[in-house]
Amino acid sequence: MRATPGRAGPLSLEALVSRLGGRIAGDAGKIVQQVGSLESAGADQIAFFSNPRYKAQLGDTRAGAVVVPPSAEGLTDLPRIVTDNPYAYFARLSQLFNPDRELRPGIHKDATVAEGARIASTAEIGAGAVISDRAVIGEGTIISAGCHIGEDVEIGAGCKLYPSVVVYHRCRIGARVTLHSGVVIGADGFGIAEEDGRWLKIPQVGRVIIGDDVEVGANTTIDRGAIDDTVLEEGVKLDNQIQIGHNCRIGAHTAMAGCVAVAGSAKIGRSCTIGAASLILGHLTIADEVHVSAATVISRSIRQKGTYTGMYPFDEHASWAKNTALVRHLSELADRVKSLEQRLHDKEKKNG
């Protein structure tokens, strides 16, 4: 949940801790008015430290205050807030100092709204947006300029659609969902059947169902189901340029980094993380709490939680060329090793 609109003024660490919890070390009266990074924050900004890899930056920072874990409390003399999860704390601080812009309820004169659409009175519809027949838009939801909402779509309360989002007919979107520009929800899944060397289209008559508190990054596409629905459960977070195929189900609170592709009918568990540019093949099942590293192809189901990786190592070009040529001859190499083992065994037997 985001802070109520209205930017927080300058606040002392004491005031921050009374709102957000944590413990102060050093000057509790220190006033800050914005968050910043260790690298570039100034004296009126508060930064955070959690990754020991950035210890040098903690030493050099010109931030006025810093959020640290108990283990790092002694690493700096700056006024500091001590908390077990500095990154989450920083998220709340940043929400406090950077609230969403205020809502401007109403339908822009240059929007096109079908007579049969039902728009909540506190919703905001931007210029050039098109809301089709029987679409329902919830309270406090922003449909920005140039969005297109198809027929019979339902969008819950408190959502934010940035400019140029398309939601195809009949899809359903929960509450507090954010869709960034260029997102396409509910385009046809890739369903084709071969017949005599040509492709017949399978009409895609399922929907996309998106739960509450989901966020979807720019230019990501989520296809409608072929017959049944494609489902994103609550709290799913997708980065940019992700492709979700038809009939997938993505479990609650799973997060995917940019450029991931999930082929049709994959079922992904809850609280998974999928690294950038990975590919999940179709019709697989992935357990809860599975972590897939970047650039990894998941080619069979994963039943056990854990971390799975399949990145091919890069190298200087010449080394790469020499080693990679051998990949194509690995089975011959293995045969040669086997033959050596046999010959040596024979020899040992003979010579004792």
Annotate 93-140 with DSSP letters as a single string.
Answer: HHHHHSPPPPP--EE-TT-EE-TT-EE-TT-EE-TT-EE-TT-EE-TT
- The DSSP letter of residue 223 is P
The reply on whether position 146 binds a copy of itself by CB under 8 A is: yes
> What backbone torsions phi and psi does residue 162 show, to the nearest 5 degrees?
-70, 170
- 162-181: which residues touch a copy of itself (CB under 8 A)? 162-164, 166, 168, 178, 180-181
Give 122 or 293: the residue with its C-beta nearer to a copy of itself. 293
Give 62 or 237: the residue with its C-beta nearer to a copy of itself. 237
Give 24 or 168: the residue with its C-beta nearer to a copy of itself. 168
- The DSSP letter of residue 224 is P
- The DSSP letter of residue 184 is E
Give 1 or 121: the residue with its C-beta nearer to a copy of itself. 1
For a copy of itself (CB under 8 A), the number of binding residues is 126
Contacts of 305 (CB under 8 A, 6+ apart): 287, 288, 289, 290
**HSE (CB half, 13 Å, CA atoms) of 261?**
9
Least distance between a copy of itself and beta carbon 221 (Å): 4
- 43-82: which residues touch a copy of itself (CB under 8 A)? none
Stretch (H or E) spanning 86: helix 86-97
**Catalytic pick from 148, 180, 246, 253?**
246
Dig out the tokens for 262 from the structure.
């999930």
The reply on whether position 344 binds a copy of itself by CB under 8 A is: yes
The reply on whether position 37 binds a copy of itself by CB under 8 A is: yes
- 100-139: which residues touch a copy of itself (CB under 8 A)? 108, 110, 112, 126-128, 130
Selected binder of a copy of itself within 85, 106, 116, 301 (CB under 8 A):
85
Contacts made by residues 4-11, CB under 8 angstroms, sequence distance 24+: 4/99, 5/99, 5/100, 5/101, 5/102, 5/103, 6/99, 6/102, 7/97, 7/98, 7/99, 8/96, 8/97, 8/99, 9/33, 10/44, 11/96
Give 73 or 110: the residue with its C-beta nearer to a copy of itself. 110
CA distance 116 to 108: 17
**HSE (CB half, 13 Å, CA atoms) of 97?**
20
Least distance between a copy of itself and beta carbon 178 (Å): 8
The reply on whether position 88 binds a copy of itself by CB under 8 A is: yes
CA distance 79 to 211: 41
Give 157 or 202: the residue with its C-beta nearer to a copy of itself. 202
Question: With CB under 8 A as the contact rule, which of the stretches 8-16, 18-26, 33-41, 117-125 interacts with a copy of itself?
Answer: 33-41
CA distance 311 to 78: 41
Give 43 or 192: the residue with its C-beta nearer to a copy of itself. 192
- 291-330: which residues touch a copy of itself (CB under 8 A)? 292-299, 306-317, 319-330
Give the torsion through C-alpha atoms of 86, 91, 94, 98, to 10 deg.
180
Dig out the tokens for 86 from the structure.
């500095």
Selected binder of a copy of itself within 4, 6, 348, 349 (CB under 8 A):
348
Question: With CB under 8 A as the contact rule, which of the stretches 6-14, 19-27, 71-79, 271-279 interacts with a copy of itself?
Answer: 271-279
345 is catalytic: no
Least distance between a copy of itself and beta carbon 257 (Å): 6
- 196-225: which residues touch a copy of itself (CB under 8 A)? 197-203, 205, 215, 217-219, 221, 223
Angle, vertex CA 181, rays to CA 260 and CA 161, nearest 5:
110
- 228-257: which residues touch a copy of itself (CB under 8 A)? 228, 235, 237, 239-241, 243, 245, 253, 255, 257
Active site residues: 246
